[in-house]
């Protein structure tokens, strides 16, 4: 009883509450997936597998240890879909939706948590942003589901086509990568409608809600904020460069796109460039990709999508700020400048911190898995970065991981969704700012 007397919800920081919120959702999903009627064999998933699947869905990753289409019942699949929606939109977005429904006022503490969850600069306009988030989500997912439904009518009965359309629209927009086809989208490699609808949902879900709102209100690239400009430019650069390089690497690979018509090669390369935005769908067998393509995808997965989106990774803006900083240093500028604006020192330090913490996590997990799992290094690195970036692409080793390996990947997915910096802040002891500064001294670097 002593713990409950000393414990106070109000004493928790927004970062701590956010971590606790995601953990609670994962735990709830785990319990539901353990139930006998969650699986087709009537046994329910064992604890490790249920925890893995629940974490993968809540963290919108898409890595699986059981086949979603064959191992889970409709109940189990619906649990996965709901976890994807909650995890993609964010715990506080869904909590605010419930508050809207019951007519509850959103408190200052809740606004601070929303700010942390959506990675915003201030608490001003948080409720309004949530309204935009929910509106954009249901419109985009609804439109995608409708188009997919019309396409799948030729493949399945109406009710099944409707169910499949909704599931995959939710999974794609939230950059989750779970599928009900059994082999991701490999059966639809040459399908223009499904490919482009899924790609559109992935990109819209991955550029960030703040960017969608900003572009919606101003509808002009020149008038948008610096945040929006960096997101759009970095997204375009990564998509185009990824497309060109993947097309070149895989063009003659007989195990992937070597035997495809030229048009399908272009579409496959474009899709494979989009899906590392942390979506996890694939139209080509990932395990058959060349080593150069795998390494490129590892880099793209590590970068991920954009802040305040449904996706993971260190984020396009973090990578963009790093590139801008390097360019300004190379050109001899004292300030970090872009588009006639100067980046604050705190932004650069945060970008460096996020990158170092993320690299540290990936390196540590990769080394441990290399020791415990005894699998090919590149495949282990690929799996680790896929988990951290909440991507879900896999070379096929997920189901062969040991119980310890699955737990480690589970932790990595959780850290990737919440964010290494948020976790560090949540568990670090609070320190007050010093009222004095130490003398400066230079250190030789490089």
Three-state DSSP class for residue 65: coil
Three-state secondary-structure class, residue 72: strand
The H-or-E segment that residue 169 falls in is: helix 158-173
Q: Please tell me the distance from the alpha carbon of residue 328 to that of residue 341, in angstroms, as a whole number.
A: 13
Helix or strand (DSSP H, E) at 84:
helix 74-89
What is the three-class DSSP state of 264? helix
Pairing of strands 341-342, 337-338: antiparallel
pLDDT digits (tens, 9 = 90+) for 177-227: 899 998 889 999 999 999 999 999 999 988 887 888 888 887 777 788 888
pLDDT of res. 7:
43
| CA pair distance 226, 9, nearest whole angstrom | 36
Residues in the chain predicted with pLDDT less than 50, given as ranges, are 1-7, 9, 102, 429
**Residue 23 confidence (pLDDT):** 86
What would you report as the CA-atom Rg of the chain, rounded to the nearest whole angstrom? Answer: 22
What is the tens place of the pLDDT at every residue in 369-428? 999 998 999 999 999 999 999 898 999 899 899 999 999 999 999 888 877 766 665 555
DSSP per-residue letters across 267-305: HHHHHHHHGGGTT---SS-GGGS-HHHHHHHHHHHHH-S
CB 115 within 8 A of CB 202: no
Three-class secondary structure assignment of 106-167:
CCHHHHHHHHHHCCCCCCCCHHHHHHHHHHHHHHHHHHHHHHHHHHHCCCCCHHHHHHHHHH
Instruction: Please provide the distance, in angstroms rounded to a whole number, between the alpha carbons at the two ends of the chain.
Output: 55
Judge contact between 423 and 353, C-beta under 8 A: no
Q: Please tell me the distance from the alpha carbon of residue 148 to that of residue 78, in angstroms, as a whole number.
A: 18
pLDDT reported for residue 121: 54
Per DSSP, the residues of 208-253 read -HHHHHHHHHH--TTTS-HHHHHHHHHHHHHHHHHHHHHHHHHTT-
**Please, what is the average pLDDT of the chain?**
85
- The SS3 call for residue 425 is helix
Per-residue pLDDT at 1: 40
Q: Give every CB contact of residue 126 below 8 A, 6+ residues apart in sequence.
A: 106, 111, 114, 115, 118, 120
Residue 2: per-residue pLDDT: 44
């Amino acid at each position: 009883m002593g713990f409950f007397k000393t414990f106070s919800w109000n004493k928790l920081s927004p970062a701590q509450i956010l971590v606790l919120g995601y953990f609670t959702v994962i735990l709830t999903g785990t319990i539901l997936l353990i139930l006998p009627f969650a699986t087709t064999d009537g046994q329910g998933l064992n604890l490790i597998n249920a925890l893995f699947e629940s974490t993968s869905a809540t963290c919108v990753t898409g890595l699986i240890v059981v086949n979603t289409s064959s191992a889970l019942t409709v109940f189990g699949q619906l649990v996965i879909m709901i976890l994807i929606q909650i995890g993609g939109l964010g715990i506080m977005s869904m909590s605010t939706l419930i508050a809207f429904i019951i007519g509850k006022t959103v408190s200052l503490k809740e606004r601070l948590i929303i700010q942390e969850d959506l990675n915003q600069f201030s608490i001003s306009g948080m409720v309004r942003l949530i309204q935009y988030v929910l509106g954009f989500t249901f419109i985009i997912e609804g439109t995608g589901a409708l188009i997919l439904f019309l396409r799948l009518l030729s493949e399945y009965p109406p009710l099944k086509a409707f169910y499949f359309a909704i599931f995959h629209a939710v999974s794609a927009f939230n950059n989750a990568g779970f599928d009900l086809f059994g082999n991701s989208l490999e059966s639809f490699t040459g399908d223009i409608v499904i490919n482009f609808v899924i790609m559109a949902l992935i990109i819209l879900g991955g550029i960030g809600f703040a960017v969608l709102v900003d572009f919606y209100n101003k509808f002009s690239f020149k008038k948008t904020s610096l945040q929006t400009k960096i997101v759009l430019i970095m997204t375009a650069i990564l998509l185009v460069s990824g497309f060109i390089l993947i097309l070149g690497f895989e063009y003659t690979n007989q195990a992937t796109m070597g035997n495809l018509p030229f048009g399908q090669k272009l579409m496959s390369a474009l899709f494979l460039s989009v899906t590392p935005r942390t979506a996890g769908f694939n139209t080509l067998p990932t395990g058959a990709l060349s080593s150069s393509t795998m390494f490129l995808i590892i880099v793209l997965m590590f970068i991920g999508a954009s802040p305040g989106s449904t996706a993971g990774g260190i984020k396009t803006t973090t990578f963009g700020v790093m590139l801008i900083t390097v360019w300004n240093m190379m050109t001899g500028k004292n300030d970090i400048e872009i588009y006639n604006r100067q980046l604050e020192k705190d932004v650069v330090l945060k970008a460096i911190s996020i990158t170092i913490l993320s690299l540290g996590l990936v390196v540590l997990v990769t080394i441990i898995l290399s020791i415990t799992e005894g699998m090919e290094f590149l495949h282990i690195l690929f799996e680790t970065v896929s988990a951290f970036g909440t991507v879900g692409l896999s070379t096929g080793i997920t189901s062969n991981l040991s119980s310890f390996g699955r737990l480690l990947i589970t932790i990595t997915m959780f850290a990737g969704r919440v964010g290494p910096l948020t976790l560090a802040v949540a568990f670090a002891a609070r320190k007050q700012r010093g009222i004095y500064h130490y003398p400066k001294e230079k250190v030789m670097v490089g």
